[in-house]
Amino acid sequence: MSNKFDVVAMGGGHNGLVAAAYLAKAGKKVLVLEKKPWAGGGVVTREINTPGFWHDEHSSVHIMIQGNPMLRNDELGLVSRFGLNYRYGTPYSMIFADGSTLTAYKDLDKTCQGIARLSEKDAESYRSLVTESIKFLPMFFAGLYAPPAPMGAFFAMMDSSPEGRDILDKMQRSSLDLANMYFENERVKIWLLRLISENLQAPEELGTGFGLFLMPGLMHAYGVSQPVGGSGKLTEALVKCIEYYGGEVRCNSNVTKVVTSGGRATGVQLDTGETFQATDAVIGALHPHVIRKFVEGIPEPVLQRGERATLAPYSIMVSHYDLHSNIEYRTDDPAVRDAIMLEFMASDSLVDMLDDFDALKRGRISQRVLGAGGDESIGDPSRVPAGKGMFHGITFAPYNLEQGGAARWDDIREEMGDRSLRHYQKFVSNLTPDNIIARTVVTPLDHARNMPTSMPGGDVHGVAPYFYQMNSHRPTPDYGQMTVPGVERLYLVGPFLHPGGGVFGAGRATAIKMFDQLGMNWDKVIAA
Read off the pLDDT of residues 431-475 as tens digits, 9 standing for 90 and up. 999 999 999 999 999 999 998 888 899 899 999 988 899 899 999
d(CA 202, CA 180): 15
The answer to the question of residue 13 being in a domain is: yes
pLDDT at 192 over 90: yes
Average confidence (pLDDT) over 232-258: 98
d(CA 42, CA 111): 31
The answer to the question of residue 69 being in a domain is: yes
d(CA 53, CA 382): 9
pLDDT at 109 over 70: yes
Task: Return the minimum-mean-pLDDT range out of 23-32, 208-217, 406-415, 424-433.
Answer: 208-217
Average confidence (pLDDT) over 96-108: 95
d(CA 510, CA 483): 9
Question: Do the Cβ atoms of 490 and 11 come closer than 8 Å?
Answer: no
Question: How confident is the model at residue 210, as a pLDDT?
Answer: 85
The answer to the question of residue 120 being in a domain is: no
Residue 130 parent element (H or E): helix 120-144
Task: Return the minimum-mean-pLDDT range out of 27-36, 162-171, 266-275.
Answer: 162-171
pTM: 0.96
Domain CATH number, residue 480: 3.50.50.60
Average confidence (pLDDT) over 181-199: 95
Residue 238 belongs to what domain range?
A: 4-86+228-310+454-527
The answer to the question of residue 379 being in a domain is: no
- Give 149's DSSP letter: P
pLDDT at 1 over 60: no
pLDDT at 346 over 80: yes
- Give 310's DSSP letter: P
Query: For 133-151, what is each residue's pLDDT tens digit?
Result: 999 888 888 888 999 989 8
Structural domain count, the chain: 1
The answer to the question of residue 403 being in a domain is: no
Query: For 304-313, what is each residue's pLDDT tens digit?
Result: 999 999 999 8
The answer to the question of residue 254 being in a domain is: yes
Average confidence (pLDDT) over 199-221: 89
Question: How confident is the model at residue 301, as a pLDDT?
Answer: 98
The answer to the question of residue 198 being in a domain is: no
Question: Do the Cβ atoms of 230 and 6 come closer than 8 Å?
Answer: no
Average confidence (pLDDT) over 80-93: 95
The pLDDT mean for the chain works out to 94
H helices present in 173-229, as ranges: 175-182, 186-197, 210-222
